[in-house]
Structure 1
Amino acid sequence: MCMDTAELKAEFDISTSIGFIGLGAMGAPMARHLARQGYRLFVHDFNRSTVDSVVQCGAQAVRSAREVADRCSIVLLCLPSLPAIRDVVFGDAGVAGGAAVRVVVDFSTTGADFARETAQRLAARGIALLDSPITGNVTTAGNGKLGIMCSGPRAAYENVAAVMATLASAMVLYLGEESGKAQTLKLLNNLLSATGMASTCEAFILGVKAGLAPRRMLEIINSGDASSSASRNKFARSVLPRRFDFGARMAITAKDISLSVEEAQGRGVPMWVGQAVQQIWKFASTQGGYDRDGTSLITYLEPWAGIEVFSPDEEPSCRISFTEPAHRPLVLICAEADMRVLAERLVASGYSGREDEEARHNIRLRLPYAARVTVTLLSVAEDESGESISVRIAEAARAEAAVVNMCPMARKKAIDIRALLGAETGYCDALHTGTHRDIAAGDGVMIVGGEESAIQAAGHALVNLCRDAFRIGSTAGAAHLMLDIHTSLFATLLAVTSEAYVAGVKAGLAPEQMAKIMRIETGRNAASSRVLPLEVATRKFNYGFSLGDTSARLTAATNEARQLGVTTWIFDKVRGLYGLVQACTDATHDVTTVAQQYERWAGVEVRSAGSTHA
């Protein structure tokens, strides 16, 4: 149930006294926003400077939680821990003993069991609890653009909905009268955010150890299905320049992830990825990171690889702009499964061509207006050696041809092919991050690496095969490693999002409810915003990547990490998970089979209302 902000505020008597207890990193900007909007606000916190900052916006300070509850019928809480909430609510000078309070709104993240226990104890005193955790960051907390999920008595919700709407123009989602549901959804959303941060740290450590430029990595990750709130918001601002100042303490994240994993496992959901993420955050928190900003997580993982991920300054975009076609023939090598769709796309873009009857793995195309601009598509088998591929390229190539490697493979294999071709042959890698549907539509993103002359020579073909192309570097194999990293991130986010949706369904949440919160920002990724709602909940299971291809990229990434001395706790766990799912099903199945396997393990279906697919 979502409420219109303007209607709610019109119905609410803004002269009603509201209490706010807990003016921390999120609570203080929320309270300041309410005060600036004209609410009659009474606040309490032990930090005098944050109290003063809210008072300057029009609030009034009081000395204790009890005094807040004596003055206000509505009391809002935003506190960092369960002991703090117990003390503030049920302590000797706690809210529960107040003379005026009738509704307590807890914006803290506590877990479902604690919310239910607190609701029962307050109800015995005639006070309604709304467990109403928030999603957002310090910026959205201060400008009224949070998301709020709420569960508890409907009458109490209707009494405070206008206040919530003032704080959360992005989304106020009422989940019903059952206490704890909102906490479950918040924890699952936080699990996605924390996984995005931990796995993106692994990705950058691996890439930088291999010589990739971090700013280029970030632009490529954010261009496709591997992005998360960590890559979109935290890395450029706080991680790469080593500021570590995003505004959320590591201890809070570690606590939330532990609650999430424990609750999901208690409902019978195997948390393969969630457990690994929990261990990473708990490790960092106990090794000195407890009170540090959560973006400093990477500093506890870097020593294992012996490197530091650092890029202090913004850089020009690595997006490629192709010039006029170079009149130079191309040999484009690709996977057997990709050759037809690539050829059909080029023909649809104006190329003409024929299949070589003597070599069914070759298709030769040309531009009608430029006879010397030919493209020979050469398909290669997954297990074909670099030596064999280089020989076939030499046989297919015309004089002065440039070679474009579009076949996903291990980085070393690409390097070997480039060396075997000889310095006189121009060479570049161009790997598509999208599905066959993306390629067929000329959509999606391509990662390009190699020599500038070869890249420009290939431009007339590549520009028809993708929406955007980004250059990762000038060395052979760099694009292959970046594709492996990109795919590993997507695979990780898909797996943990499958865990979250399955756990949510086990807790009584509908897929549509989860998607509304997970699409806002904190938990948003391709899996939470598109794959689970549009492919799994509709029972289509047709995103366009195969289990086998995804597993191959995970294997290549983790093998590369071992060779470089990089520890990838999460990617290794995800590699094992995809191998297990593949063993239970088939390598040709769609990657969304991972979510379907979680459903089987947990005994539920993530099915949207009205889905007609089997």
Structure 2
Amino acid sequence: MHIGFIGLGNVGGKLAGSVLRNGHELTVLDLNEDLVDAFAAKGAKRGASPRSLAETCDVIITCLPSPAACAAVVEGPDGILEGIGPGRIWAEMSTTDAEETKRLAQLVIGKGGEAIECPVSGGCHRAATGNISIFAGCTRATFEKVLPLLTVLGRRVLHTGDIGSASILKVVTNYLATANLVSLAEALTTCKAAGMDLNTAYEAIRISSGNSFVHETESQVILNGSRDISFTMDLVAKDVGLFQSIADAHQVPLELSPLVLKIFEDGIHQFGPRELSPNIIKRLEVLTGLDVRAPGFPAEMYDDEPEETGYEVVPQRGQALAAE
């Protein structure tokens, strides 16, 4: 299968690496030529334009920082729409707006192609090893065509329903992770202020009902001081904003989400949009004068699970009820 990959950033570059590592023919495209050069050195082909990838590749993947960037690649001059047709599939792996994804998908389908949205969740360290989780929104027929590729890109693959459903679930899970990050920043700072040993505090949270995926990953790089998860405050604000927009569209009167967004807007104001997202704790460090770090924690997260072929996750509870 010939794969075209557009967007070689923090997440996209790692996903594209899984494609190449597993023996697929790969053509790449990015505004940063240094990133393209690095992939070319490993055996990937250089793409000329989104249109050229759509004309020559079986699946064209986009993994871009914003809905506007994706729209420009799909429907802009020399874009995917100018080259895609029957037998080609556009796969959107960005964290983006559900309605915009549906709009662009219909344009692709109108050209005779197929479309799938398949955002990922689980951290850059798992994207690097092909062990990340993938939400896939599309027709069942398209899902089954792309599933062999998705099980290379990720470990657990969930078909979420029609196009738009995966985008909604992705921003929901990102919102939950962000709310957890803010609460962990408060918890760790409070432990420091109370004179607790932070190694002990980390373990207490880890073995208790307070534990979470975010604690086991982001708390470690917070305590190291690097705060590096390859994700920035502007991207957090975008994702929480998308979640809030979904709630607003359905008239859900949220209370926590606006506060989380306000906290990150303040973090961006103080430290800049490209500040690493776990450094939201710096707001509290500045206010308290505390240094919330401890020895022995890693500067980056690495996936210690071996790379394995992925599989489809099938929801069980609804099926059990239907069978009764």
TM-score, structure 2 normalization: 0.87
Residue matched to 1:146 = 132
CA distance in 2, matches of 1:199, 1:111: 26
**126, 129, 132: which one aligns with 2:115:** 129
Residue matched to 2:274 = 291
Aligned-pair identity (%): 29
User: Is residue 196–residue 229 contact of structure 1 (8 Å, CA) maintained in 2?
Assistant: no
Local SS of the residue matching 1:175? strand
Residue matched to 1:240 = 223
Measured against aligned partners, the alpha-carbon deviations of 1:316-360 in whole angstroms (never above 9, x if no partner) come to xxxxxxxxxxxxxxxxxxxxxxxxxxxxxxxxxxxxxxxxxxxxx
Residue matched to 2:153 = 167
1:608: Cα distance to partner?
Answer: 9.0
CA distance in 1, matches of 2:279, 2:236: 12
Specify the code of the residue in structure 2 equivalent to 1:286: H
Matched, 1:35 2:25: no
User: Is residue 32–residue 53 contact of structure 1 (8 Å, CA) maintained in 2?
Assistant: no
**222, 226, 233: which one aligns with 2:206:** 222
Matched, 1:44 2:29: yes
Residue matched to 1:24 = 9
**179, 184, 188: which one aligns with 2:163:** 179
Matched, 1:113 2:94: no
**72, 89, 92: which one aligns with 2:77:** 92
User: Is residue 190–residue 256 contact of structure 1 (8 Å, CA) maintained in 2?
Assistant: yes
1:99: Cα distance to partner?
Answer: 4.9
Matched, 1:277 2:260: yes
CA distance in 1, matches of 2:23, 2:43: 8
Local SS of the residue matching 1:113? helix
CA distance in 2, matches of 1:304, 1:288: 14
Specify the code of the residue in structure 1 equivalent to 2:191: G
Structure 1 runs not aligned, ≥5 long: 1-15, 315-511, 517-532, 534-606
Matches within 5 A, 1:518-597: none
Structure 2 runs not aligned, ≥5 long: 298-313
1:226: Cα distance to partner?
Answer: 0.7
Local SS of the residue matching 1:610? helix
Local SS of the residue matching 1:276? helix
Measured against aligned partners, the alpha-carbon deviations of 1:560-591 in whole angstroms (never above 9, x if no partner) come to xxxxxxxxxxxxxxxxxxxxxxxxxxxxxxxx
User: Is residue 84–residue 113 contact of structure 2 (8 Å, CA) maintained in 1?
Assistant: no
CA distance in 2, matches of 1:219, 1:79: 36
Matched, 1:308 2:307: no
Specify the code of the residue in structure 2 equivalent to 1:37: N
Cα pair distance change 1:99/1:275, threshold 3 Å: closer
CA distance in 2, matches of 1:123, 1:278: 35
Residue matched to 1:502 = none
**313, 321, 324: which one aligns with 1:610:** 321
User: Is residue 84–residue 111 contact of structure 2 (8 Å, CA) maintained in 1?
Assistant: no
RMSD: 2.1
Residue matched to 1:68 = 53
Measured against aligned partners, the alpha-carbon deviations of 1:59-86 in whole angstroms (never above 9, x if no partner) come to 1112222221121131011111111111
Residue matched to 1:437 = none
User: Is residue 69–residue 99 contact of structure 1 (8 Å, CA) maintained in 2?
Assistant: yes
User: Is residue 29–residue 46 contact of structure 2 (8 Å, CA) maintained in 1?
Assistant: yes
User: Is residue 36–residue 58 contact of structure 1 (8 Å, CA) maintained in 2?
Assistant: no
CA distance in 2, matches of 1:55, 1:144: 20
Matches within 5 A, 1:250-265: 250-265=233-248
Cα pair distance change 1:286/1:69, threshold 3 Å: farther
Matches within 5 A, 1:213-612: 213-236=197-220, 238-313=221-296, 513=315, 610=321
Residue matched to 1:77 = 62
CA distance in 2, matches of 1:250, 1:180: 24
Residue matched to 2:88 = 102
Specify the code of the residue in structure 2 equivalent to 1:70: E
Specify the code of the residue in structure 1 equivalent to 2:3: I
CA distance in 2, matches of 1:216, 1:261: 36
1:609: Cα distance to partner?
Answer: 5.8
Local SS of the residue matching 1:268? coil
Specify the code of the residue in structure 2 equivalent to 1:275: P
Local SS of the residue matching 2:224? coil
Local SS of the residue matching 2:321? coil
**178, 183, 195: which one aligns with 1:199:** 183
Residue matched to 1:188 = 172
User: Is residue 289–residue 297 contact of structure 1 (8 Å, CA) maintained in 2?
Assistant: no
CA distance in 1, matches of 2:248, 2:179: 17
Local SS of the residue matching 2:291? coil
Specify the code of the residue in structure 2 equivalent to 1:193: A
1:280: Cα distance to partner?
Answer: 1.4
User: Is residue 84–residue 112 contact of structure 2 (8 Å, CA) maintained in 1?
Assistant: no
Specify the code of the residue in structure 2 equivalent to 1:131: E
Local SS of the residue matching 2:190? helix
Cα pair distance change 1:285/1:129, threshold 3 Å: farther
User: Is residue 242–residue 312 contact of structure 1 (8 Å, CA) maintained in 2?
Assistant: no
User: Is residue 128–residue 153 contact of structure 1 (8 Å, CA) maintained in 2?
Assistant: no
Specify the code of the residue in structure 2 equivalent to 1:248: F
Cα pair distance change 1:287/1:121, threshold 3 Å: farther
